[in-house]
Structure 1
């Protein structure tokens, strides 16, 4: 998977994200026969949301235009591990694809139908995490939306 520079301080990452309050990263790695790009143990100073542990596999800082391709590629890599992912969910782990999107200027993120079908075929939910710096006047944003 190709990593590209993002203009205007923007980045997009496509990850398989596994979390649980008592997650042991080494155990998840053994269960999936994969090494994470990043992991955090529960309760660590830099633990994940709400102090949960997390295990991440995928690619970061890709072009906005290539997100669909990256998602299809990641889902294809994980298709042979569909049963292992389902077992993790049965054991109480949160298992999802996450598209994390950060930018300084407004932009559009589009996903192809093929990308969405590849996620569906794997049986893993898709989430979006968007980070956008607050503007000096947030009311401009809402007025653009007609709110």
Structure 2
């Protein structure tokens, strides 16, 4: 399926967060090397006050999410029981699909990729990063002006 504007920098991740999470312990328990980990930091922009641990699989804009999802599932499947143990201890465990979006961009998830994610029985989230609006931060910015000035020539 060809799309005109696709999500840039798509990636699939196993993201684990929690207030009492110790990233080094998660690394040992799962036997996976994180691409990102951080001890709890009060002033952090992402999940302040929580520790974070993540395995990331980047993709290319033209390939969408199928390849990163396939690679992530293959990578984490051997550690699935340990991942569920981390989840049972109260940490937030999720599969996160993220990318950079521009106005009108779309993404596509194949039935095969969705089925692979569903078999893991873990929550899935979508996270986007976007450019700031060029004219204003008003979400209704695209509506015509109420005074009819958009009709003036």
Q: Is the 8 A contact 2:38 2:52 kept in 1?
A: yes
Structure 1 residue 40, shift from structure 2 partner: 0.8
Give the Cα separation in 2 of the matches to 1:9 and 1:74: 18
Residue in 2 that maps onto 1:139: 140
- Which residue of 82, 87, 90 corresponds with 1:92? 90
Q: Does 1:118 align with 2:116?
A: yes
Give the Cα separation in 1 of the matches to 2:143 and 2:114: 29
Larger radius of gyration: 2
- Distance verdict in 2 for CA 1:41–1:129, change over 3 Å: same
Number of equivalent positions = 137
Show structure 1 runs of 4+ deviating over 6 A.
none
Give the Cα separation in 1 of the matches to 2:24 and 2:98: 24
- Distance verdict in 2 for CA 1:73–1:142, change over 3 Å: farther
- Which residue of 42, 63, 66 corresponds with 1:65? 63
TM-score normalised by L of structure 1:
0.80
Residue in 1 that maps onto 2:150: none
Deviations 1:41-90 (A, max 9, x none): 01265373132110010223532533112102211221111111110110
Q: Tell me, which stretches of 5 or more residues in structure 2 are unaligned?
A: 145-153
Q: Is the 8 A contact 1:42 1:54 kept in 2?
A: yes
Deviations 1:11-55 (A, max 9, x none): 222111000111111000001001100111012653731321100
Q: Tell me, which stretches of 5 or more residues in structure 1 are unaligned?
A: 1-6
